[in-house]
Structures are given as structure tokens and as C-alpha cells.
Amino acid sequence: MARKKTRFERFFSFNQHRRRFGANRHVFADLDYARLKTALIEGETVEQTHGSEKSLEQHLVNLRREFTGEPELLWHHARLIVLIRREFKVAETFRQFRSLWESEADFLCERLNLRWLISATDTFADHHPEPAERSKAMMVSLLVNTVKIYETERALAQGAPLPLDPDKVEHVQSHLVPLFSGLSCFTIGTDDTLRNMRWRLDPFMESHPVGQIAKTVFDRLQEEDTAFARLKALHHRSRTGWWS
């Protein structure tokens, strides 16, 4: 695995300086969040970015199209993340990012998609001054990236995703089906593993704003086309349900 460059190495990297050139134009001390929540970004089509331009200005232009028809506040949130990742006045920019979440967590959790919710937790994991908050944020990122990996394998497999075999589903109700390294299959329909995990997560979800993001993300994973939602549809023992 490649070694992460040190802060000293990044400071003397011409490429790093080039990637944040012009960043001063995108930092604002005071913003009217109420106005930004109602002002919508104009445009004809939504276009999600793939990769990033070395030019900060071009990258932000591309990124803005991703928020066509959405409130300006969502775009401002994304812009702060870009500036932090390009290491522009990190302490000051992160303070603005944290202040935004402390003020507008309800709105951001409701309107941001999973991509940007995880970008937010990655940012908290990298820069929050409190280790406990960094740990909570890292937990959310780990969960969603795990889902992303196995759903990628499923999406790229040859042929259509295979439906569950009813006979195997019935078999796992009464038999242990080994997976690897001592793990066995989830008992679809009755298993309490995910419910117990959710109970352990609940105290972490009570903190603000990282815990609020964690709960939003967990709930979304039960509704999107993920293994959580697919198993939820087959789960018939209500007292072991793990969703809100």
C-alpha cells in the first residue's frame, strides 16, 4: 500500500499548491443560511462529477452542476469539503464546516444524499478535535464503504443479481450455514444480530451532529437497494427488527 505523504511533503508539493490556487474567492466569514436554503441553483441537467480537476475553479464549476435544482446551501457544504481536502486554511475552513453542521444539521441530513453525508463524516473523522467524535464519524464511513464494496461486486457480476433461493432461506432457519473464519449466515427472518447492533449504535446516534448523520445514514440504508433492505423485506419476527 502506498505511503500517505507527510504534511511537510504536501506543503512543498507544487501540485498541492496548484490544486488550491484561487481558494480565497470561495471563503466567506458570514453567510445567510436561511437565504441559501431557499435559493436554488439554476441549470438544465444534473451531472455528477467523476474524479476531480487539478484546477480548483474548474472542479467547483463541475461540482456545482451536481446540485442543479438544489438549495445553494448544499453546494456551499460541498465547497467547504473541497477546500478542506485541498488543505486550504484547514483549521479556519473546518470551523466554518462544523458551524454549518451545528446550525443546519436537520436540513443537511434531510437534503444531502449518501455520497455527501459520507463526505461529511469523512471530514469529521479527519479533523474533529475530539477523538470520540472522530470515532463515530469513522464508524459511519466504514459502514457505508462496506456496503458500497459488496454492492459494487453485485452490480458488476455477470448476469442479473441472483434472487435468494427459497429453499436455502428455509434451510438457514434451522441450520448453521458457515461462511468463513467462524462466521455463519444471517438467519433471515428471525436473527437478532442487526437488532442488537442497532441497540449498540443508538447511544452514538444521540450526539449532534455526527450521531444525527449516523442515524440518517443507517435509516437510508434500510430503504435503498442494499442487503439491509433486501433482508428487511424477508424479516418476519418484529421483535428482532433493526430499522427505525
What is d(CA 201, CA 210) in angstroms, rounded to the nearest whole number?
Answer: 12
pLDDT for the residue numbered 38: 95
Categorise residue 121: left if φ over 0, alpha if ψ from -120 to 50, beta otherwise: alpha
Q: Which residue matches cell numbers 461540482? A: 63
pLDDT for the residue numbered 98: 96
Collect contacts of 196-204 with beta carbons under 8 A, ≥24 apart: 197/242, 198/242, 198/243, 204/136, 204/139
- Confidence class of residue 34 from pLDDT cuts 50, 70 and 90? very high
Q: Is the dihedral of CA 13, 18, 24, 27 positive or negative?
A: negative
Output the pTM of the full model: 0.82
- Give the pLDDT confidence of 189-208 residue by residue, as tens digits: 999 999 999 999 999 999 99
Contact present, 117 and 210 (Cβ < 8 Å): no
pLDDT for the residue numbered 87: 85
Closest of 41, 63, 61 to residue 50, by C-alpha: 63
Calculate the average pLDDT of the chain: 86
Percent of the chain residues topping a pLDDT of 90: 63
Contact present, 173 and 189 (Cβ < 8 Å): yes
- Confidence class of residue 177 from pLDDT cuts 50, 70 and 90? very high
Average confidence (pLDDT) over 25-39: 80
pLDDT for the residue numbered 154: 85
pLDDT for the residue numbered 47: 80
- Give the pLDDT confidence of 113-159 residue by residue, as tens digits: 999 999 999 999 999 999 999 999 999 999 999 999 899 888 888 77
Given a cut of 50, whether residue 105 has pLDDT beyond it is yes
Q: Which residue matches cell numbers 496548484? A: 18
3-state secondary structure of 59: helix
- Confidence class of residue 11 from pLDDT cuts 50, 70 and 90? low
Domain extent listing, the chain: 8-112, 135-158+169-240
pLDDT higher at 21 or 64: 64
pLDDT for the residue numbered 1: 36
pLDDT for the residue numbered 43: 81
CB atoms under 10 Å from CB of 50, counted, come to 6
- Confidence class of residue 23 from pLDDT cuts 50, 70 and 90? low
Best mean pLDDT range from 52-56, 181-185, 207-211: 207-211
Can you read off the three cell numbers belonging to residue 180? 468463513
Categorise residue 56: left if φ over 0, alpha if ψ from -120 to 50, beta otherwise: alpha
